Structure 1
Amino acid sequence: MKDQLVKAIACDGHVRIYVCNTTGIINYAQKQHDLWPTASATLGRVLSVASMMGGNLKSDKEKLTITINGGGPIGTVMADAYYGGNVRGFVGEPHVHYQYNDTGKLAVGVAVGTQGYLEVKKDLGLKEEFGGQVALQNGEIGDDFAYYFALSEQTPSVVSVGVLVDTDNTIISSGGLLIQMLPDASEEDIEKVEAVVKTLQPMSDLIKDNVALEEIVKSLFEDAKILETTDIAFTCNCSKERVENAIKLIDKEDLKAMIEEDHGSEVSCQFCNKTYTFSEEELQQILDSKE
């Protein structure tokens, strides 16, 4: 099943629904960053929410950035989301693996920690970015985003995200569901959503069983109307030109040291782990342009 994002409405347009399959996206991230299981689950959950939030952007000039740091061993988790649902992301420490003793499930909350924040910044192509920051609730990602939507965007939301990781670290399934109450929702609509939540199956299980995303939506709400189905992917806009522009910001003395001591430079993109190499000659040209 392809990585896709489905947008839908229900309850006479009073409820907004997003559902996504991000299995391929997280498999790519796992390979690029050599993620251990709990790191895969953490980044997978964040990228699933990021993709669904990206689906709500209005144009390709808009972007949002999610930053999470709960003081746990995984460090900072960061994700960018673009118009249409494409995403990219990384974790500070990819080699973390914890499980809960009672359930055997991956302990994302332990890896992330709870002594920190979840921050969302939205770049809408204007002079200033917009966004909000909330305290982490349990570090398990789903509840933390539900709290963010309620507090920062005044939108009561249900967030269900899950990742299943195989014994060889590859991703069996990954996906997410976001249900949001719109301002004109009635008490009856709220009751319908509450009833849906009570019977909700884990998203990772539904994706593993190859249940079509549209069918997942229709199984939740009888009057669900599918608005759009979009292919999504892990997309990074890094390039050698962008890295060169960053190197141009380095002061002259540090550039000289890179030439005379290191005899060149290798720069890796945090998001996709691609490496860009600059020779002595290329660094010298950059230094000459500064002088």
Structure 2
Amino acid sequence: MPRPSDSVVRAITMDGAFRVITALTTETVRGAVAVQSATGATAQRLGELITGAILVREAMAPNLRVQAIVKGAAGHGSLVADSHPDGTSRGLVNLGKGATAESAVEIGGGSLLQVMRTLPSGMLHQGVVEIPTEGGISAGLMTYMQESEQVVSMIAVATLIGADGVGASGGYLVQLLPEVERGPLMVMTERLKDFERLDDVLAHEGASADVLLGELLYGMPFSRLEDSPLSFSCRCSELRVMATLASLPRSDIEEMVTDGKVLDIRCDYCGKDYQVSPSQLRSLLTTS
């Protein structure tokens, strides 16, 4: 049986009480975890952060790029999730100085979650919250939505790690709409208690964004609005590398040209190597 493709699904209940977004992110997370060589708790948290960034983007800015950054407790390491409107996402792990391969980015007292989205004007909209001591990435995302976006939302994200790496990954976001009444709210609150841990749902063969949506809204009439594919992909390119170098001070570029060495530049997100020759650097001086 083929694995369900990664996707995000959007829906609204017929009573206008809830907006629901569900996502299956297994292959997306596998791609990011593999290139970052992340394992254990760090791989799990990176997967949850990538899923969370996708859900926040879909809820608040589907046509904009959203980045979510977790800074570990006591400044020990950081995680970055980068989600784009075309459905591609990538991730980054920084374990910090002195860390070993077995080290983990710790989530606990003092951990921070920063969420940024790039506006069409080029300006950044960003918010920073402290991640609660209980609840991990999911709790941090709910705190961000409440405090920075002032939108009451219930969020859960999960990444299952097994002996062979990422087994499954996904999550949901349930947004309370102004039309919500006490009765439906109580029903949904009780329903979500069964979904605080998504492990059982995601572990089932055939788990998908639509399956998760159906489980969440079982017995509740809803309208399925649309869906979009998700995937892991890095947006680096030789053109972007040259554009970054072009932004350096002219004196720095001149120094590199004089040095006469080929620059070796590696993308931190995907590990791809780029070589920039002195003649390419010299061309930046003639266009600047």
1:63 aligns with 2:65: yes
- Out of 186, 197, 206, which is 2:192 matched to? 197
Q: Is the 8 A contact 1:4 1:229 kept in 2?
A: yes
- Out of 20, 23, 26, which is 1:23 matched to? 26
1:229 CA drift (Å): 2.1
1:97 CA drift (Å): 4.6
Matched residue, 1:156: 152
1:81 aligns with 2:83: yes
**Cα distance in 1, alignment partners of residues 61 and 114 from structure 2:** 20
Structure 1: gaps of 5 or more residues: 99-107
Q: Which amino acid aligns with 1:25?
A: T
1:69 CA drift (Å): 1.1
**Cα distance in 2, alignment partners of residues 181 and 23 from structure 1:** 27
Residue 263 to residue 113, structure 1, CA distance change in 2 (3 Å): farther
Matched residue, 1:103: none
1:260 CA drift (Å): 5.1
Residue 259 to residue 183, structure 1, CA distance change in 2 (3 Å): same
Q: Is the 8 A contact 1:255 1:287 kept in 2?
A: yes
Q: Percent sequence identity over matched residues? A: 23
- Out of 136, 142, 151, which is 2:131 matched to? 136
- Out of 48, 55, 61, which is 1:45 matched to? 48
Matched residue, 1:5: 8
> What are the within-5 Å matches in structure 2 for residues 196-275 of structure 1?
196-200=191-195, 202-209=197-204, 210-221=206-217, 222=219, 223-259=221-257, 261=259, 263-275=261-273
Matched residue, 1:102: none
**Cα distance in 2, alignment partners of residues 19 and 59 from structure 1:** 14
1:34 CA drift (Å): 1.0
Matched residue, 2:178: 183
1:126 CA drift (Å): 2.6
Residue 82 to residue 39, structure 1, CA distance change in 2 (3 Å): same
Q: Is the 8 A contact 1:3 1:21 kept in 2?
A: yes
Matched residue, 2:276: 278
Residue 151 to residue 76, structure 1, CA distance change in 2 (3 Å): same
> What are the within-5 Å matches in structure 2 for residues 100-179 of structure 1?
111-126=106-121, 128-138=123-133, 140-168=136-164, 170-179=165-174
**Cα distance in 1, alignment partners of residues 150 and 270 from structure 2:** 33
1:277 CA drift (Å): 1.2
Q: Is the 8 A contact 2:108 2:132 kept in 1?
A: no
Q: Is the 8 A contact 1:73 1:112 kept in 2?
A: no
Q: Is the 8 A contact 1:123 1:129 kept in 2?
A: yes
**Cα distance in 1, alignment partners of residues 222 and 16 from structure 2:** 9
Q: How many residues align?
A: 278
Normalising by structure 1, we get a TM-score of 0.84
RMSD, aligned α-carbons: 2.6
1:246 CA drift (Å): 1.0
> Secondary structure of 2:231's match?
coil
Q: Which moved more, 1:279-288 or 1:14-23?
A: 279-288
Matched residue, 1:90: 92
Structure 2: gaps of 5 or more residues: none
Q: Which amino acid aligns with 1:279?
A: S
Residue 163 to residue 190, structure 1, CA distance change in 2 (3 Å): same
Q: Is the 8 A contact 2:14 2:223 kept in 1?
A: no
**Cα distance in 2, alignment partners of residues 236 and 24 from structure 1:** 14
> Secondary structure of 1:55's match?
helix
1:220 CA drift (Å): 2.2
**Cα distance in 2, alignment partners of residues 229 and 117 from structure 1:** 31
Q: Is the 8 A contact 1:7 1:229 kept in 2?
A: yes
1:149 CA drift (Å): 1.1
Q: Is the 8 A contact 1:177 1:203 kept in 2?
A: no
